[in-house]
Amino acid sequence: MFKDRKTLHITGNGPELRVELNSPETGNAISEEILDDLLAVLEEVHDRPEIRVVVLSGAGPDFCLGGDRREFTGQLADDPTASRLRTIGGKARRVCDALATTTAVTIARLHGQVMGAGLALALFCDLRIGASDSRFRLPELALGIPAAWGGSLPRLLHEAGAARIRELILTGNSFDAARAEQLSVLHRVVPEIELDDAIDEWSRPVIRRSAAALRATKTLLNSYSAASRLGDTTLLDAELLTAVVAAGREKSERRR
């Protein structure tokens, strides 16, 4: 039986599990604690073949406003070398991998603002549905950090195409749900009030599938995707993020 965790609200109905980011006071900003809780839940899902569908959503007005900047700033102040960020970056990679490779079909239920790390989490879900008034943004470059979180960049390029994603990363411009659907960031767009009904349309047939066939199909899809991304360097994401942040801090200190 799954129980709520400090940062997650979890509800289950037989073969479908709903996992809700539950820190609306921070806009569900992705903290290390959220990463730890998500990883624990997803590891348990992987060992529970009776769970066929996992729906990832967010409490409050926004799905997720990105990484937790307060935690980021506090850890950098405590550790100028940014080595702690390397550890968090590694956890982000493991969570994203778990979303992609767990035996259940993962569905991202998106509404409000979907930014940065929140968008990365959604991208690693098998299916993504968004409210028609939702907004999306990749703000990393504007914040002085590279687009290196959880291995999301090659995933984004593979799903949406290099030319358009290059524009969105370099400009940091936000885009709406209609554009997200054009880019394949979303598979479907509906009014927010219809999100759950649309998810049910996806989950009902999945739940009826053979568990063994479902596991094999997900493995095949992930294998083919990986084969198309030879030369993937995302294992270096945490190192790259740490190096850039540490260099930026050192430069700032020299100016004082």
| E strand or H helix at 128 | strand 127-131
First to last CA, the chain: 54
Which sequence spans correspond to the domains of the chain?
8-193+213-255
Please report which residue ranges of the chain form alpha helices under DSSP H: 32-46, 69-78, 83-101, 116-123, 152-160, 162-171, 177-182, 195-207, 211-227, 237-255
Contact 184, 159 (CB under 8 A): yes
What percent of the chain shows pLDDT beyond 70?
81
C-alpha dist (Å) from residue 81 to 32, 77, 215, 243: 18, 9, 41, 8
Contact 148, 99 (CB under 8 A): no
Contact 9, 23 (CB under 8 A): no
Task: Return all residues near 247 (Cβ < 8 A) that are at least 6 apart.
Answer: none
What percent of the chain shows pLDDT beyond 90?
52
169 three-state secondary structure? helix
pLDDT digits (tens, 9 = 90+) for 17-37: 999 999 999 999 999 999 999
pLDDT at site 238: 52
5 three-state secondary structure? strand
- What mean pLDDT is predicted for residues 147-175? 86
pLDDT at site 103: 87
pLDDT digits (tens, 9 = 90+) for 221-243: 877 766 444 445 554 445 445 54
CA angle 38, 225, 160 (to 5 degrees): 85
Q: Tell whether the model's pLDDT for residue 212 goes beyond 60.
A: yes
pLDDT at site 15: 92
pLDDT at site 72: 64
pLDDT at site 231: 47
pLDDT digits (tens, 9 = 90+) for 66-102: 988 776 666 655 666 556 677 888 898 999 999 998 9
DSSP state of 104: S
pTM: 0.85
pLDDT digits (tens, 9 = 90+) for 117-130: 999 999 999 999 99
What span, in angstroms and rounded, lies between the C-alpha atoms of 169 and 166?
Answer: 5
Determine the topology of domain 8-193+213-255 in CATH.
2-enoyl-CoA Hydratase; Chain A, domain 1 (3.90.226)
